[in-house]
Amino acid sequence: MKIGILGAGGMADALGTQWIRAGHEVMVSGRDPVRARSRAESMNAQAGVPGARAGSWAEAAGFGEVAMVGVRAEGLADVLGATGTALRGKPLIDVTNAGPDRHDPARPLARLIADLTGGHVVKAFNLCHVDVWRMRPPVFAGRPLAVPLCGDDATALGLVRELVRDLGCTPLDGGGLDRAAQLEATAAFVIGLWFGGADAQAILPPLAGSGAHLPS
């Protein structure tokens, strides 16, 4: 699969390198073309195969079957505006967070990205620190990390599920794109707890202790 990544920061590095290892091709982009080229070279060195290259925002947006938005929330409009129409109708992974102090429940980032691009947005990978995505694989106490996905398009969801499994993680159906606002709010809440030194995972019981459920 060819994956265009908008952004050349930590999330681009962590996720992109893992996907290169899984046999995918990646194009990264950033505000600084020199830094983007350096990031691509670093990803290739880490992965041990030449699966990454650098390009402009528009080139990365048009590069492959899937694109990923991995830029700061405050820069979204400018970056997405620079892609022109390249993201229209394309599966688009949104990994962004506004941060615990800047989260606005009235302005979900996933919906903003969908409105600005016309892409088929899937919210994913926004609940964990970048170092988690560098793990090979992310497994805790013998349990693979689960990654909730929120989106409306079946094809886009199918592709993102594949990319989740390539990390050694388990994709979870989180509902439609309207539910991405709840996923963003969850990130803002638990990241705030982590920043405060609390074990956010301890606020929820395991499935066996969470009450009666319908058979899966």
In a structure prediction context, what are the per-residue pLDDT tens digits for the chain, which is 216 residues long? 999 999 999 999 999 999 999 999 999 999 999 999 999 999 999 999 999 999 999 999 999 899 999 999 999 999 999 999 999 999 999 999 987 778 888 899 999 999 999 999 999 999 999 999 999 999 999 999 999 999 999 999 999 999 999 999 999 999 999 999 999 999 999 999 999 999 999 999 988 899 988 776
In a domain, 210, yes or no: no
207 belongs to a structural domain = no
Please report whether residue 38 resides in a domain. Answer: yes
- Residue 177 in tokens: 């794109």
Domain with 44, as residue range(s), is 2-200
- On whether residue 214 sits in a domain, the answer given is no
Burial of 52: CB neighbours in 10 Å, binned 0-12, 13-18, 19+: buried
Structural domain contains residue 175: yes
pLDDT at position 191: 92
Q: Are 131 and 37 in contact (CB under 8 A)?
A: no
Say what the pTM is. 0.96
Give the CATH number, domain containing residue 174. Answer: 3.40.50.720
- Residue 107 located in a structural domain: yes
**Distance (Å, whole) CA 96 – CA 184:** 8
Residue-level pLDDT at 216: 61
Count of domains observed in the chain:
1
Residue recorded with tokens 């409009």: 77
Nearest to 57 by CA among 23, 31, 35, 19: 31
216 located within any domain: no
Report if residue 16 sits inside a domain. Answer: yes
Distance (Å, whole) CA 176 – CA 150: 5
